[in-house]
């Protein structure tokens, strides 16, 4: 089948961390029974040692000097460039299924739609940072920002971006809606307003279908035409 990059996207607190953890356990149990395919989880920003330093600059509590929008964009791009080279490409080359919390669409939604920076410029930076590596599948956890912000604010201190206005987060949400319309094959919407278990069920159904497609001709793997 070859390595696969599966990305999770959405507004703050849409449930990516929760769902990735559960999906990873499910995939590991499925693959441990059939074929030893590594399933790894990573995230942006902060999936590397350098990225962790960039993450703390980007997502502090917002009390320092303001970060200019274009500086913010370049810091996210730097984090991605390092992550692609240090983690994503090597893991995919080993044949792993990589579950990644945020990737290029986050920059389009947050810096493009949220901050209002140039979308063609962001596409170009994304292409430089990724060296052309695109996700094989992007799961968009779609939930109203009013609901998701209540979830994140229940956790205590909000980071610099969580502290943005409701209007900002609504523009980000609009960005994801637009991205899903533009890339209907790559981006699959999941209703993330449901319970954690129901959201996970939707995701597993999507993955089972995609893995069956990807495994065509590889009969030893689960999710081949003979079923999981």
By beta-carbon proximity to ligand T5A, the closer residue of 18 and 177 is 18
Q: How far is the CB of 183 from ligand T5A (least distance, A)?
A: 16
By beta-carbon proximity to ligand T5A, the closer residue of 37 and 139 is 139
Does 13 contact ligand T5A by CB under 6 A? yes
Cβ neighbours of residue 124 under 8 Å, at least 6 residues apart? none
103-124 burial, b at 16+ Cβ within 10 Å, e below that, comes to bbbbbbbbbbbbbebeeeebee
By beta-carbon proximity to ligand T5A, the closer residue of 52 and 94 is 52
Cβ neighbours of residue 108 under 8 Å, at least 6 residues apart? 119, 122, 123, 126, 175, 179
Interface region with ligand T5A, contact rule CB under 6 A, candidates 32-40, 176-184, 193-201, 212-220: 193-201
Cα distance between residue 79 and residue 144, in whole Å: 28
Cβ of 202: how many Cβ atoms within 10 Å?
18
Q: How far is the CB of 226 from ligand T5A (least distance, A)?
A: 33
Does 59 contact ligand T5A by CB under 6 A? yes
52, HSE (Cβ side, Cα atoms, 13 Å): 3
Does 37 contact ligand T5A by CB under 6 A? no
Q: What is the DSSP string of 122-171?
A: HHHHHHHHHTT---SEEEEEE--HHHHHHHHHTTSS--TTTTS-HHHHHH
Nearest residue to 59 via CA among 38, 44, 48, 70: 44
Q: How far is the CB of 70 from ligand T5A (least distance, A)?
A: 13
Tell me if 73 sits within 8 A of 116, measured CB to CB: no
By beta-carbon proximity to ligand T5A, the closer residue of 59 and 212 is 59
Does 17 contact ligand T5A by CB under 6 A? yes
Q: 16-34 and 196-214 are packed helices; what angle lies between their axes, rounded to 10 degrees?
A: 50
Does 7 contact ligand T5A by CB under 6 A? no
Cα distance between residue 17 and residue 101, in whole Å: 7
Q: x/- binding map, residues 99-138, to ligand T5A, per CB under 6 A?
A: --xx---xx--xx---------------------------
Pick one of 6, 12, 99, 142: the residue that binds ligand T5A (CB under 6 A): 12
Does 199 contact ligand T5A by CB under 6 A? yes
By beta-carbon proximity to ligand T5A, the closer residue of 88 and 199 is 199
User: Using the 8-state DSSP alphabet, how is residue 43 labeled?
Assistant: E
Q: How far is the CB of 1 from ligand T5A (least distance, A)?
A: 27
User: Which residues contribute to the site for ligand T5A (CB under 6 A)?
Assistant: 12-18, 44-45, 59, 76, 101-102, 106-107, 110-111, 151-152, 155, 161, 192, 195-196, 199
């Amino acid at each position: 089948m070859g390595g696969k990059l599966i990305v999770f996207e959405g507004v703050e607190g849409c449930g990516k961390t929760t769902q990735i953890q559960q999906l990873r356990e499910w995939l590991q149990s499925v693959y441990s029974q059939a074929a030893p395919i590594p399933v790894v989880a990573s995230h942006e920003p902060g999936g590397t040692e350098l990225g962790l330093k960039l993450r703390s600059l980007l997502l502090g509590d917002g009390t320092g000097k303001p970060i200019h929008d274009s500086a913010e964009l370049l810091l996210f791009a730097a984090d991605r460039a390092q992550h692609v080279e240090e983690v994503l490409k090597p893991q995919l080359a080993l044949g792993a299924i990589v579950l990644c919390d945020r990737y290029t669409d986050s920059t389009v939604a947050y810096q493009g739609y949220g901050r209002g920076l140039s979308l063609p410029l962001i596409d170009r930076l994304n292409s430089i940072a990724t060296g052309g590596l695109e996700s094989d599948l992007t799961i968009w956890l779609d939930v109203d920002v009013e609901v998701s912000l209540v979830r994140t604010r229940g956790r205590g201190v909000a980071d610099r971006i969580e502290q943005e206005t409701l209007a900002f987060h609504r523009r980000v949400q609009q960005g994801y809606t637009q991205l899903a319309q533009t890339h209907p094959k790559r981006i699959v919407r999941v209703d993330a307003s449901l319970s954690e278990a129901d959201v996970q069920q939707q995701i597993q159904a999507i993955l089972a279908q995609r893995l069956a497609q990807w495994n065509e001709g590889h009969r030893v793997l689960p999710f081949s035409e003979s079923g999981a």
